[in-house]
Each structure stands twice: as structure tokens, then as C-alpha cells.
Structure 1
Amino acid sequence: MSFTSLGLPPWMAECLKNIAITKPSAIQEACIPPILDGRDCIGGAKTGSGKTIAFAAPMIAKWAEDPFGICGVVLTPTRELAIQIADQFAALGSGVGIKTCVVIGGVEMTKQSRDLKEKPHFVIATPGRLADEIRSNGEEILPGLRRAKFLVLDEADRLLSSSMADDLATCIGALAPPEKRQTLLFTATVTDSVRALKNQAPKAGKKPVFVHEVASDEVAIPATLTQSYLFIPSYVRDAYLYSILTHEDNTSKSAIVFVNRTATAEQVRRTLEKMEIKTVSLHSEMPQRERINALAKFRAEVARVLVATDVASRGLDIPVVEMVINFEIPADPDDYVHRVGRTARAGRRGESISLVSEQDVTLIQGIEERVGQKMEQYGKIDDDDVVNNTLRPVSMAKREAIMDMDRDGFGELRKTREKKRRLKEAASAAVKNEKKKHRKKKGSS
């Protein structure tokens, strides 16, 4: 099977070849023909299976037939994923001169507004910032958005969560109605909210939704991934993490360390740096420029360790990752699947290690049930060695890291953002009340 046999033009197949992609993956083979045929699509596939090309290649091919203003809007939950998707659009459209516009938080809003008004061909955005642009600029950008022929929800299960509902509704409300555009949903986790969309009756004049799901017997975890755990007291996590990273078998391995909170990500990064491990972090408290630089350093292997919240667990393709360490266990087993999916990609081998405390046993049992296999105990770390040689210096480094965070005022960005969120909610509630009063007044007159 070739890309041209799926209906893509030869020039697109050549672009794919230039980025070392010569054979369609399962999801590309399944979804490209129906998208080219004008059908709405729900694409579910394992992480690392090539979902972005499955929607980007046919969208660019359709745009090239009739180039005009905004052809497609791609919504995705994280800034880093938006940037990565935009890079892939640019690579695939390099020979035909497509223009993309990335609309994300942490970047100057004025420039993004100007870029939107210039009607790029593809808009790749996070719902929160695009919704802000729509509310701020109104009719200046709405005509361009309304002409978009495609709407893509990437990592659809996250986008359809209640936390993004209002912003997502604002974004979708600015586009053409469903019967006048193609809607493409892609996700590694086909949740009930995603699955419910496939049962909706097709709009007038539209073909039924095409659905491609991971087969029920496919294993969510790659066969090339080794999963293990260390059962430890919760107060010595940092010492065991350091011991894992500095074990002679691991000193040359690149690793992502996942945590549950932004403050923990910052504390762990600073602690490891004080212990002379080249480390960067990725979390929502960081300015966008720092987030971009951190990812660039990790991809270039300037830093060996990336400490991140789940902002890094979705969709990011970082080929160098050899090990994933769950410093803290996620509450949702699907989040575990996404985390460990950052390694053992495209047939490469990878390793995941989970630090399990007495409070985490139930979470680990849920994860093991979700992935259909038991974790093995990680046997390379000697408890006595950790207590005698590692615990004291790491504890001192951790205390210094926490003191540095207090001195630097870590967390102020979150407080500012929370204040803005409350003000936005209050303004939204005031507008709704005014509309309600207006309707009542109109009804009584």
C-alpha cells in the first residue's frame, strides 16, 4: 500500500518521502481515503501511530485543489502539541507554500490577532487562547473562521472534558455549521464522550461518520516496553529517583520523569540540578519561551532528564526517550498509558519505572487491570545503599530547592492566572444575566 494508492497526490507522497515516511500506518491507511471523500471521521489509535499525518496530509491535499483563506482549524489541548502539529503541517506543505498560524497562550496576543486577520491556510490552536481571540476580535476574524472546511479535534478525549467545555463551545460556534464542514476527531483514548458522537445521525446531505478504532484485542502498551515498579516510603521518592538515574545501567539514558503537580515538577528539577544531573522541566507555570527552550534542549540531548506534568504526556514525539519514570502515580490509568507511551515508540525498546508508595497500591492495581499485565519489581536499586549514601545529600538538595522556590516566588503565575479566570467567569456570568433580563423584558412587553 502506498500513499498515492490512498488517493493522495504524487507531490504529497514525495513530501512524505522527504521526511522518511514511505508506507502508511494503519490509521493513515484507514482514515485518509474517507477524509478525501468528504466524510467526517473519528480516528482512534495507539500513541505514536501517526495520527497527525492521517488528518494533515488529506487536508493539505484538499486545500491545494482550491487554495483560499482559512481551510482548516486544528484544536489540541497543549501548547507544545500545537507547535508540533504546526511543524508537521509546514513540513508536508513546504512545496505548496501553505501558511499556518499557531494560536496558544503564553505568546503575545497582538501578534496572533494580526496573524489570524491575515487569513492563514491552517490555524492550530489551544481552545482557551482561540476562544479569547474570538471574544476579543469578534467580526475581524470570524469571517475567515466561518469559511474553514475542516475542524480537527486532536486528543479529542481531553478536549471534550468538562474543563475545556466553554472555550471549546466558543471555538466551534465561530465555525461553519457541521453540515458545511468536515469534523475530524483523533485520539489515543476513545472515551464514551467520543464514542457517543459516532452514533449521531448524519446531517442532511452528509455521509455517515467514518470510525476507526484500535481493535479490542490490541494491547495499549507496546510489546517493546518493560514495566516495573519500586515500592518505597513516600518521603524518600527523590532519593530513589536519583539512585535510578545514576545507576550504572542508566547514566547514559534519556528519561522523562512524570509528576502530578507543577510545584513538584519545579522542585524535582531544581533538586536534580543541584545533584549535577542535567535536567529541564515542562509545566504550566513556565513562560512559553522557557517551555519551548526546555523541549529543544531535551530533544537535542543537551539535558538528559525532562521533569514534566501530564502536559508532556500527550502526542509529543521525542525519539530520544529511553526511560519513563512515574515519580508520582496518576489517578487515571489512561494517563499512565499516555505517559509510558513517550518511550518504546515505532518499535524501539523502552522502559518505565513507577515509584509506588503505600498510598498508591490501589492506583497501581487499576493500571495493571487497564493494561492487562502485572508490573515486575525493579531490582537494580539497593535499599541500604540509598539510605547510607544517597538519602542525606538528596534531602539537603531538596531543602535548598524548596527554599530557592520560595525566594523566587514560584507560584505567582498560577495565582495571576487564577485571578484572570475568576474575572472571566464573573464577566461571562454578568453577560448571561443581562441577556436573561433582556429576554424577560422582551417577553413581558
Structure 2
Amino acid sequence: MAIRRPSQIQIACIPQILKGRDCIGGARTGSGKTIAFAAPILQKLSEDPFGVFAVVMTPTRELALQISEQFAALGASMNLRQAVIVGGMDMIAQALALQKRPHVVIATPGRLADHIRSSGEEAIAGLRRVKFLVMDEADRLLTPGFAEDLEECMNVMAKAKTRQTLLFSATITQSVMQLKESFRHIFVHEVPSNSISIPATLDQTYLFIPTHVREAYLVSLLTLPINEKKSAIVFVNRATTAEVLKRIFRSMDVRVTSLHSQISQRERIDSLGRFRAEAARVLVATDVASRGLDIPVVQMVVNFDIPADPDDYIHRVGRTARAGRTGESIAFVTEHDINRIKAIEERVGKVMTKYELVTESMVIRDSLQQTSNAKREALMDLERENSGSLSKKRRFDGR
């Protein structure tokens, strides 16, 4: 895997996990957290192999698939059996995979909870003896949106006193630290928040623009001669926005793909694969792409929409400037985003500088009319497609 020396979090956590301690591990994105828990789990598995040995919980499907790839690479020499249990895939095939007692189960809470409720004791019996429970991106998993499903999963697993619990995240929130009292003999490794937030090699800038012309500014930004070959992720807050931007860029012959919750799992896998393989230069995505994903080619992150939570901004811009490489982020700030930007700057401890290469006159001259036409056509296409989908549903339902 071309890993020559351990990272800071691996040096700190691996020996403690091998000693049998529970662990809370915090370090910036791209610092090797997956190997920090996967390597000691596989070491312990090799000493006493049985399935299900470990369950890894993660908030997104894409991150679950990426963790699976890491386990497969690390466990290639020991015939590791694993199962990925995420939404958008066939439930029956997953239930059969669970019945075969894989050594490692990597799952999103919602889909694993679905199996616990409906797939029968034979499918979930292996979870009752699990030796390791990992929560990757633990701060996200411990939010109210995952609470019910996570509780359902935890109730069928081996109790805390008979298993090791490992919590890892780029941001260690109060909700994560509150669990410290629940575990035995716990080890905590946390890089101070002012150093984990933003990589030192990241150049943070902003563009202050009117809301109704953001698309034209985005086109001008990504087609500048200095940027036209850079790989970029454009983050938005809504799936509809992602689809509109994707269609605008396609009409302008920009190699683009999208990633959000409203497309099928197969499309999500294909989109991420195209971007990783550099078949697409621009990825337009919601926050499903903001956490944990290792995409080494990202040179620029654009926040087309500013997130409400400063920690979401940290995770988004963490897709670039990874592992010591340089990167840049540009925030599109409208008249509605001032308070959000102030909160972000306070959280990261740094004031953003103005991006000077895109000007109003340039946008009006080069991209405003073409982008406006492309946006109008994109919205009309989406409306037609949505109307067609509704008509099909009505015919199917007999209405």
C-alpha cells in the first residue's frame, strides 16, 4: 500500500487498541484513521478468528465502501471475509451475506437496523458475539438523525463490557466525549481543535456575489485558464441544485458528474469512480461526499452553498490539501450568508481572503448569458422529467 511509516494517530492508537483498551481517536481528515482501527482489528482476528468479529458503523454508503476497500487490502493475505450492509442494495443478498458470518461487517445504521427488524435471527445472530464496534465519523453518527437506528443496532450486539468500542472522527464533539464515561479503561487521542480543523496547506478564499448569478460566477471560476484543468468538488446543500449545476456544466462541455442521495446506489458508485479516475474533472455533491472519502486528486473545493454548521465546512474543505498536499477552497458568499461565514471563521480561527481572479465585468462579458440560458434549459428538463415520473406513478397506482 506504499505506507512507509505510521501517522500520528496510528502511533498513538494502535498499541492501545492492541492492549484491549476502548479508544476515542480524533485527527484531521486524511491522516490514516481507517488503518488506525483496521490494522489492530485484523491483528486480533488473526489470533482468534471467528465471525462476526467486528462491526464498523459509518454515516454514508460511500464511506462504507471505501472502508471495505481498506480492509480488503490489509486483510488480503488472511482470507478476510467481509460484508457491506448499506442502503440501495439488495436486502436478500445482504441477509445471505450476514448468515455466512463474515469476519467484518461494515454498515450504515439505517440498513443494518432494517435487517435487525426484518431479516430474522439467523442473519443477525453473529452480531451478538462481536469483539469490536467501530464508529467512524462518530460525531455524525451521534446526531439525532441516527439515534433510533443506532440504538436498534447496539441492542443486539455484545455489551460494552465484553467488546472493544472505537470511536474515530475528524472533529471530536461534546456528544462523542460524553461517551467517555460509558466505556472501560478508555484511551483518548485528540489533536487540539485548532490544528485539526483546517490543513495548513489549504488556501481559503471567498467571493461575495448576488444570489441570482452564482451559477455564472461558478462557470467563470472553473473555466479560468488557471483553473480549467484542476479537479474540483462543488458542494451544494440540496440534491436539486446538484442536478441543475451538472446539466449546466454538461451543456458547456465540462467533464462533470454528481453525487447526492436522490440517485441510485449504482449511479453513486459510478459517479465517484469517474471522478477518482479523472474521467470527470468536476464533482457536484451534497454532504454525502464531505466526510471521510479519500479522493487524492482534488485540487479545489467550492462551497456553492454555505453550510449551516461550521464543522460541515471543515469536512468539505478537508477533501483537498490532504496528506501535506496543497489545495484551495472558495466560498460563494451571498447577502444571506454573512453570519454563517463569521461562525466558520471563528471556528477555524482564520479570516478568509477575497478571491481576486473572478470579477463582475468578466462574468458579464464571458459567462452570464450562456449560463442563464443553460440554467433555464436545465430547470425545464428537470420539470419534464419530474412530471413524467409522476405520470408513471399515477398510472401504476391507478390514479
Q: Same fold by TM (over 0.5)? A: yes
1:229 aligns to 2:211 (yes or no): no
1:396 aligns to 2:378 (yes or no): no
Tell me the secondary structure at the aligned position of residue 21 of structure 2: coil
Partners of 2:306 and 2:337 within 8 A in 1: yes
- The equivalent position to 2:32 in structure 1, one of 35, 38, 50, is 50
1:164 aligns to 2:162 (yes or no): no
- The equivalent position to 1:370 in structure 2, one of 327, 347, 354, is 347
Match for 2:14: what amino acid?
I
* TM-fit CA distance, 1:199: 3.1
Q: State the match for 1:253 in structure 2.
A: 230
Distance 1:266 1:233 in 2: 21
RMSD, aligned α-carbons: 1.4
Q: What are the Cα deviations for residues 366-385 of structure 1, in whole angstroms up to 9, with x where unaligned?
A: 11111111111000012112
Q: State the match for 2:18 in structure 1.
A: 36
Distance 1:237 1:228 in 2: 16
Distance 1:81 1:40 in 2: 22
Tell me the secondary structure at the aligned position of residue 218 of structure 1: helix
Which structure has the greater CA radius of gyration?
1
Q: State the match for 1:347 in structure 2.
A: 324
Tell me the secondary structure at the aligned position of residue 63 of structure 2: helix
Tell me the secondary structure at the aligned position of residue 130 of structure 1: helix
Distance 2:52 2:257 in 1: 36
Distance 1:326 1:248 in 2: 20
TM-score of the aligned structures, taking structure 2 as reference length: 0.96
1:327 aligns to 2:309 (yes or no): no
- The equivalent position to 1:298 in structure 2, one of 275, 293, 301, is 275
Distance 1:355 1:276 in 2: 23
Partners of 1:285 and 1:411 within 8 A in 2: no
1:150 aligns to 2:132 (yes or no): yes
* TM-fit CA distance, 1:147: 1.3
* TM-fit CA distance, 1:217: 4.7
Distance 1:97 1:219 in 2: 36
Q: What are the Cα deviations for residues 39-89 of structure 1, in whole angstroms up to 9, with x where unaligned?
A: 111111111111000000000110011111110000000000000000000
Q: Percent identity?
A: 61
- The equivalent position to 2:337 in structure 1, one of 347, 360, 372, is 360
- The equivalent position to 1:279 in structure 2, one of 230, 240, 256, is 256
TM-score of the aligned structures, taking structure 1 as reference length: 0.86
Distance 2:58 2:22 in 1: 18
1:197 aligns to 2:197 (yes or no): no
How many residue pairs align between the two structures?
Answer: 391
* TM-fit CA distance, 1:407: 1.5
Partners of 1:227 and 1:352 within 8 A in 2: yes
Q: State the match for 1:70 in structure 2.
A: 52
Partners of 1:45 and 1:214 within 8 A in 2: yes
Partners of 1:263 and 1:411 within 8 A in 2: no
Gaps of 5+ in 1: 1-18, 417-445
* TM-fit CA distance, 1:405: 1.1
Larger RCO (CA under 8 A, 6+ residues apart):
2
Distance 2:173 2:387 in 1: 35
The equivalences for 1:2-21 within 5 A come to 19-21=1-3
* TM-fit CA distance, 1:275: 1.5
* TM-fit CA distance, 1:324: 0.2
Partners of 2:99 and 2:124 within 8 A in 1: no
Distance 1:180 1:226 in 2: 46
- The equivalent position to 2:215 in structure 1, one of 218, 222, 238, is 238
Q: What are the Cα deviations for residues 297-344 of structure 1, in whole angstroms up to 9, with x where unaligned?
A: 000100000000011000000000000000010001110000000000
Match for 1:22: what amino acid?
R
* TM-fit CA distance, 1:22: 1.7
* TM-fit CA distance, 1:215: 2.2
Partners of 1:219 and 1:371 within 8 A in 2: no
1:405 aligns to 2:387 (yes or no): no
* TM-fit CA distance, 1:403: 1.1
The structure-2 alpha-carbon separation of the partners of 1:300 and 1:57, relative to structure 1 and needing over 3 Å to count, comes to: same
* TM-fit CA distance, 1:141: 2.0
* TM-fit CA distance, 1:219: 5.0
Match for 2:49: what amino acid?
P
The equivalences for 1:82-161 within 5 A come to 82-161=64-143
Gaps of 5+ in 2: 394-399
Distance 1:37 1:322 in 2: 39
* TM-fit CA distance, 1:404: 1.0
Partners of 2:221 and 2:358 within 8 A in 1: yes
Q: State the match for 1:269 in structure 2.
A: 246
Q: What are the Cα deviations for residues 85-129 of structure 1, in whole angstroms up to 9, with x where unaligned?
A: 000000000011101100000111111111111111100000000
The structure-2 alpha-carbon separation of the partners of 1:78 and 1:217, relative to structure 1 and needing over 3 Å to count, comes to: closer
Q: State the match for 1:381 in structure 2.
A: 358
- The equivalent position to 1:309 in structure 2, one of 286, 295, 311, is 286
